[in-house]
Amino acid sequence: MLNQALDHLSTLLAGYSALPNRPALHAVFRQQIRAGENLWDRKNYTGHLTATAIVLDASQSKFLAIHHKSLNIWIGPGGHCDPFETPLQSARRELLEETGLAATLHPWHQGQEDLPFEINTHEIPARPEKNEAAHLHHDLRYVFVANVKPSLTLATSEALSYDWKPLKDLVLEYPDMYERVPELNR
């Protein structure tokens, strides 16, 4: 099962890298896949998988941001991938768990549903209170559209609040992704 799941990740990473304007900055991620590491293991402090749902409103002029309790930053709903769950499955699950929202995958993903809009590897600081060392998150990000202005059921164990922020503010937390927002209109 691990090998099949890693093959799937390798295919996603190759497909992502082939898209225009996608940097090839995923050496650690590639190496972990080649080495057969369990990227779903949260105790893998070299790096493990997370997935994020970037949710646009129906007009696609705003995005949903949650104020993350532990990190104290505004980000899209998301979190750790459950064992051998695909990143897209994780993004959908985390969106539902954290907000109660079931949104539609953005048309950009049509024909390439499992392909993330962005893959970002970033460092997470050590959290001694949880006995966690500093580590990397390989975050696969998917874009969704909320077809109506929904009321949300915020998971207060993970978030302090939420807001529909102007799309231009996406640059504050996701600068690389923001540069590619025009691709969503194709």
Task: From first to last of the 186 residues of the chain, give the pLDDT tens digit.
Answer: 899 999 999 999 888 888 876 766 688 999 999 999 999 999 999 999 999 999 999 999 999 999 988 788 889 999 999 999 999 999 999 999 999 888 999 999 999 889 999 999 988 999 899 899 999 999 999 999 997 766 778 777 778 889 999 988 988 878 878 888 888 886
The first and second tokens of residue 14, run together, are: 């190759």
In the chain, the domains with their CATH numbers are 2-185 (3.90.79.10)
User: Residue 108 class from Cβ within 10 Å (0-12 exposed, 13-18 middle, 19+ buried)?
Assistant: middle
What contacts 113, CB < 8 A, 6 or more positions away? 88, 105
pLDDT given at position 24:
63
What are the distances in angstroms from CA 43 to CA 29, 39, 48, 133?
15, 9, 8, 9
